[in-house]
Structure 1
Amino acid sequence: MAVNVPGLLSVVVFYLIILAIGIWASRKSKKEEKKLSGHKSEIAMVGGRNLNIWVSIFTTTATWVGGGYILGSAEVIYIPNKGLIWATAPIGYTLNFIIGGLFFVEPIRGKNYVTIMDPFQEKYGKTLTSILFIPSLLSDIFWVACVLAALGGTMSVILDIPSYYAVVISAAVAIVYTLLGGMYSVAYTDVIQLIFMLLSLWFCVPFILMSPTTADISFTAVNKLYQAPWLGRINTEDIGLWMDDVLLMTLSGVCYQAFYQRILATATDKQAKITCYVSAVLCVILAIPPVIIGAAAVSTDWNQTSFDLPTPYEQGKAGMILPISLQYLCPSYVSIAGIGAITAAVMSSIDSALLSASSLCARNIYKNVFRKTASEWEIMCVMKVCILLVGCIGMGLSMTTASVYVFWILSGDLMYSLMCPQVFCIFYFPSHSNRFGVATGFGVGLLLRCLMGETHLGIPPVIPLPGSGVVNGVYKHLLPFRTIIMLVCFITILLASRLASLLVRRGLLPEQVLHLKVRQAVTLKDTALNELIEDSNLNTDLPSPSSN
C-alpha cells in the first residue's frame, strides 16, 4: 500500500497551525513577563495566574483527554469479554475532576503554591522531597513515551509510514512551542486541539455507523453477532479488579503536577472549581465517539472489509482498533479528519507532560535544592533544557513499542500506590504526618508494589493475595491489590509518624526526624522558596516553644 499522501498533508497542515498558535501565544507570554518583571518562571509555569476561564477549561480537559483516552476507550470495548463496563477511564477521569474541584483546589491555592511539590518541600525539606519527586518525574517521562508510541502505531496504520517519523515530528513540534511560550503556548494550543478533536471524531461517527459492513450497534450491545456483546459484563471474581481500575483512574489524577498547574493558572478559586466541573462534563462528551467506534468495530464483519484476515483482534491489533475503523469503515476523506483528531489528542497530552516535568525540575530541584540564589533567567534556562531532555527521552523510549504497558504502569500505577497517600496527608493530615512517617510509608509502598508483581509483564507476585491464583494459564489478582497497597502506605504514614513522635518525646530519636530546624516556606508575595529560621514545630503532636 502506498503512502496516504492526502492524510500526510493534512497532518503537516495541522502541525503548522498548532506551531503558529504556539508562537502567537509565546508573544502573549512575553507581554505578561514585561508586566510582571522578576516572575518570568511563574508566568511560564502557571501563566501569571490570570488564564482566561474558557482557556483554562479547554487546557484542563485536553490534558486528560489524550491519545490514550480515546484509543484506550475504543480498545477496551472492542476486546471480547471486556466491553463498555470496563471502560473505566471516562468514569475515573470525570470523578477525578469532581473530587479535585471539591477537595484540592482550595488547599493548593491557599498559599500561592506553584507546583505540587511546594507543600512537600515546605514541610519535609529538600532531601525527602527530592525522593518523592522521582515518581512524578518518571510518570511524566513515561506519559510522553506512551502517548508517542500510540501515535506512531496510529500513523503507521492510516498513513502507511514508519512510526518513528510520526514520533519524531510530533515530539519536535510539541517541544518547540512549549519551549517558546510555556503555559500560554500549551494552553492556547490545547484550545484548538480540543475543538478539532471534538469536531473530527463526531464527524467520523455517522460514516462508521452507516458502513454496510457494520450491524446495528443497539442489537449487538446485548446480542452476540460477530463478537461478544459490546456492553460487556463483570464476573463476580472480577469485581475487585474493576474497582481497582476505577479508583486508580479517579485518585491518581490528583497527584499529577499537570492537574495543579492548570487550577493554579486561574485567577480565583471559583474559576478553578468551575474549570474542574466543566472539564468533568467534557470528559463524558468526548468519550462518546470512541465508545461508539469501539461498539461499531465489535459489530463489523471484517471479512467483508478490505482488512487483511484474520480480524484486528486475532492479529493482536486491538489497541489500534480506532484508527483501523477510521481507515476501513469510512471514506478516505473522512479518515483524514480522524487522523487529525488522534493527532490533536496526542499533542495535547505531550505538551502537558513536558511542562509539568520541567516545572518540577527547574523549581523544586534546581532552584530549591542546588541553587537557592538562582535568577529568573537561570530558572528559565533550566526549564527549557528540561523540556528538551524530557521530550527526547520520552521520544527515545517510545521507539520500544513493546514496552508501552510498562510506561502506563509507571505513569499511573506508581502515582496511585505511592503518591496518593502522600498528597492526602500533606493537605488533610499535616499534624499527623512527619518526615519519618512519610519516608517509612513511601518505602513500604514501594516494596509492596514490587512484591505484588505484574502479570501483564510476566512478573509473578512474591506475595500472593487471598483468592488470587492462575486462571487460564495466567496469574490473576482477584482483590484490588493497588488500592490495598495505597491504603497500607497511607496507614503506615500515620502510624509511623505517631510512633516517631512518641520516641522523640522519650528522647529515643532526635527531633530532626519530625521537622526541620530550617524551614522552607512559600510566601504570598514571592513565589520563590526562601530559607526562614523558625522555632515553631511542623508537627503539632509535639509541644511548641510558646506552649511552654
Structure 2
Amino acid sequence: MSSLDLIIILFYFAMLIGVGVYSSKKIDNEADYLVAGKRLGYGLYIPAMTAVVLGGASTFGSTKLGYQYGISGLWLVGMIGLGILGMGIFFSKKLSKLSIFSVSELLGNRFGNSSRYISGIIMAVYDIMVAVTAVVAIGVMFTALFGWNSATAVLVGGLIVVFYTMIGGMWAVTLTDVIQFWIMFVGLIGVLLPLGIYHAGGITELTNQVTPEFLSITNIGGKAIFAYFLLYFFGMMIGQDIWQRAFTAKNEKILRKGTIYAGILCIIYGIAGAVIGMVASVVVPGLSDPQQALPQLVIAILPTGLIGLLVAAVSSAVMSTASGTIMASSTIIVNDFILFKSKKKRTEKQKINLTRMVTFLVGCIAIFIALVLQDIIVALDVAYALLSGSIFIPVIAALFWKKVSARVTLISMAISAIVIVSDLIIEGVSSLNAIIWGIAASAIVMGVGTLFERKKTIVTEGLNKEL
C-alpha cells in the first residue's frame, strides 16, 4: 500500500473522530443522545438505516459467497434487506407512535417488568457480541494495514469507534453512518464493481468464464437460503440497533418509506457483493480462503489512491456495525435497568453523562472480549437464536395482539428460551432448529395460554352472574 493510500485512510479515521466531537455540541437532552432528537429526514435517515445493517459480515460474506457460488451469494445480505423491508412495511405505523427508546421498554410497558428485564438481557448480550465481531474485523484490517500485532490493532481500532460513539451519541453514529454509507456504495458499487467487470473482460466474457451454476440464483442451496431467512429476517425486524435507528425518523412517512428504501438498498448491495465475488473468482482464481476474495481483488485491479478508498469503504462497513450495536447495548443497560430501577432524580445532562459512561464501558467490554475470546461465533449463535426464537413473537403480540396477557407472554418467553437452549445443547450451537422450535414454542404457548385464560374468564363471569 502506497503513502497516498495510507494518508487517505488516516484522514478518514481522523474525520470520524472529528464528527464525534462536532456531534457532541448538538446534544441537549437524552433524546438527542439516544435517538438523534427524533428529527431525521430522508437524506440522513435512509443512509444511516442502511449503514447500520451493512457491516463487515455483509461485505465480506457476500463477496465470499459470490466467489464460491456466484450470483446466489446475494441471499445472505438479501435476507437482511428483506427483514428491513418487513419492518418498514409492517411495523412503521406502530413504531412511529411509540415514545420509547428500546425493544425491552415496549415489552415492559405491555407485559410487565419481568419481560422487560429478560428481553433486555438477551438484547444487550446480543448487541455486545455483534459489536465484538466488528471490533475483531477492525483489528484484522489494522493488522494488515499497519503491520501491528492483533492485540494493538484491536485496541486502537476499537477505541476509535468507542470514542466517537461515546462523545457524540446517536448524532455521531448517524453522521458517521451517512459518511460510511456513501463511501461504501461509491467504493464498492461505483468503483470496484465496474472496474472488476472490466478486468474480467466485460459482462459477456464474465458469464462465459464461470460455470453455469454460478448464474443460478439457487446455486447456494435451499437449506442455506432458509438458514439465512431464519437468522436474519426475524432478527432484523426486532433488533435494538435497528429499532433505535427507526426512532430517529422525523415522522411515520419517513420511517416507513425510508426503511423500505433502506431494505431495497441492502438487497442491491447484496447483489453487487455477489457479483464482485464472482468477478474475483475469474480475476484471482484458486484462493484457498474465499474470504480473501475482496481484498485480493482490490490489490489486483485498483491503482494507488483507489486502494485507500476501498479500504476506507470496508472500514466503513465494519465500523458502522460496531458503533450502532455499542450504542444499542448501552441504551438498553441505561434505559431498561439503571434509570428504570433507580429512584434518583437526574437532570438531562446527568442522564447524558451516565449514558456516555456506560457506552464507554460497553465498548471496553467489547474490546476486551475481542482480545481474549477465540471463538465468538458460539456466543453469537446462541444470542441470535434467543433473540429471534424467544422475543420475536412477544414483540408481535405487544404491537398487534391486545388480548394476550403479561403472564402468558412471560411463560412463553421462558419456555421458548428453555426449548432453544435445550436444542442447542442436543444438536449443537450451529443448529437452525433452535430458532424454529423456539418460535413455534413461543407461538403455541401464547395461543393456548390466551385461549385458556379466555375460557377461564368466561366461566368465572358465568359463575358470578349465577351468584
Q: CA deviation at 1:504?
A: 7.6
Shift of 1:94: 2.2
Mapped partners of 1:400, 1:320: distance in 2: 24
C-alpha separation between the residues in 1 aligned to 2:271 and 2:153? 26
- Partners of 1:199 and 1:233 lie apart in 2 by 25
Q: Which residue, out of 487, 493, 502, partners 2:446?
A: 493
Deviations 1:66-119 (A, max 9, x none): 22111111112223xx44324323321222222212221221222422322222
Cα distance in structure 2, aligned partners of 1:216 and 1:368: 59
1:444 to 415, 420, 444: 415
Cα offset for 1:488?
2.4
Indicate yes or no: 2:65 matched with 1:76. Answer: yes
- Match of residue 26, structure 1, among 21, 24, 27: 24
Aligned partners of 1:170 and 1:347 also within 8 Å: no
Shift of 1:480: 5.8
Deviation for aligned residue 1:145: 0.5
Shift of the alpha carbon at 1:281? Answer: 2.6
1:167-208 Cα shifts (integer Å, max 9, x gaps)? 222321222222222121111111111111111222223443
Give the conservation status (yes or no) of the 8 Å contact 1:86–1:242: no
Describe how 1:344-363 pairs up with structure 2 within 5 A. 344-363=316-335
Partner of 2:277: 294
Give the number of aligned pairs: 463
Q: Is residue 419–residue 437 contact of structure 2 (8 Å, CA) maintained in 1?
A: no
What residue identity is the alignment partner of 1:174?
V
Deviations 1:454-493 (A, max 9, x none): xxxxx7518xxxxxxxxxxxx997x865334312222222
> What is the one-letter code of the residue matched to 1:130?
Y
Tell me how far 1:301 sits from its aligned partner: 4.9
Cα deviation code 1:415-440 (max 9, x no counterpart): 211221121111112312x2322222
Give the TM-score, by structure 2 length.
0.88
Decide whether the 8 Å contact of 2:416 with 2:439 is kept in 1: yes
Equivalent-residue separation in structure 1 for 2:26 and 2:338 (angstroms): 26
Richer in helix (by share): 2
Cα deviation per residue 1:27-85 (whole Å; 9 max; x = unaligned)? 222xxx2xxxxxx1122111222223311111111111122111111112223xx4432
> 2:465: which partner in 1?
none
- Deviation, 1:502, is 5.3
Q: How far 1:300 moved relative to its partner?
A: 3.4
Shift of 1:158: 5.1
Question: Contact 1:437/1:495 (CA < 8 Å) preserved in 2?
Answer: no
- Work out which of the residue numbers 59, 68, 79 in structure 1 matches 2:48: 59
**8 Å Cα contact 1:153-1:320 kept in structure 2:** no
Give distance in 2, aligned partners of 1:257 and 1:396: 22
Q: Give 1:98-497 correspondences, 5 Å limit.
A: 98-157=85-144, 159-201=146-188, 202-211=190-199, 214=200, 218=204, 221=207, 229-231=213-215, 234=218, 239-302=222-285, 311-312=286-287, 314=288, 317-371=289-343, 373-400=345-372, 402-432=374-404, 434-453=405-424, 461=427, 482-497=435-450
Q: Which has the higher contact order (CA 8 A, sep 6+)?
A: 2
Partner of residue 88 from structure 1, selected from 65, 75, 94? 75
- Aligned partners of 2:85 and 2:264 also within 8 Å: no
Q: Deviations over 1:131-183 (max 9, x none)?
A: 11111001110111111212322343455443333322232122222222212
CA contact (8 A) 2:65 2:274 kept: no
In the TM superposition, what is the alpha-carbon distance from 1:288 to its structure 2 partner? Answer: 4.1
Per-residue CA distance 1:179-238 (angstroms, 9 max, x = gap):
222121111111111111111222223443344xx576655658656xx943456589x5
Q: CA deviation at 1:130?
A: 0.6
Counterpart position of 1:535: none
CA distance in 2 between counterparts of 1:224 and 1:291 reads: 13
SS at match of 2:305: helix
Which deviations, in whole Å up to 9, do the C-alpha atoms of 1:379-422 show, x marking residues without a partner?
Answer: 22321122112111111222357424235424533321122112
Q: What residue number does 2:38 align with? A: 49
- Cα distance between partner residues in 1 of 2:342 and 2:459: 35
The RMSD of aligned alpha carbons is 3.1
Would you say the 8 A contact 1:222–1:231 is kept in 2? no
By how many angstroms is 1:122 displaced? Answer: 1.3
Where 1:87 maps in the other structure, the secondary structure is helix
Q: CA deviation at 1:334?
A: 2.8
Change (3 A) 1:295 1:415: same
Question: 2: distance between equivalents of 1:59 and 1:111?
Answer: 20
The answer on whether the counterparts of 1:22 and 1:178 sit within 8 Å (CA) in structure 2 is yes
What is the DSSP-based 3-state SS (H/G/I as helix, E as strand, rest coil) of the residue aligned with 1:77? helix
Structure 2 spans left out of the alignment, 5+ residues: 463-467
Question: Identical aligned pairs, as a percentage?
Answer: 18
1:359 CA displacement: 1.4
Amino acid in structure 1 at the alignment position of 2:330: S
Extract unaligned runs of 5+ from structure 1: 34-39, 303-310, 454-458, 463-474, 508-541, 544-548
Moved more, 418-427 or 106-115: 106-115
Secondary structure, counterpart of 1:28 in structure 2 = coil
The question of whether the paired residues in 2 share the 8 Å contact of 1:44 and 1:182 is answered with yes
Instruction: Note if contact 2:78-2:270 (Cα within 8 Å) is conserved in structure 1.
Output: no
CA 1:233/1:186 → structure 2, altered by over 3 Å: closer, same or farther? Answer: closer
Whichever residue aligns with residue 416 of structure 1, its letter is S
TM-score normalised per structure 1 = 0.76
> Does the aligned pair in 1 maintain the 2:62–2:274 contact within 8 Å?
yes
Larger Rg: 1
Residue 354 (structure 1) shift: 1.7
In the alignment, the residues of structure 1 paired with residue 114 and residue 330 of structure 2 have an alpha-carbon distance, to the nearest angstrom, of 19
Distance in 2, matches of 1:461 and 1:284, equals 32
Partner letter of residue 152 of structure 1?
Answer: G
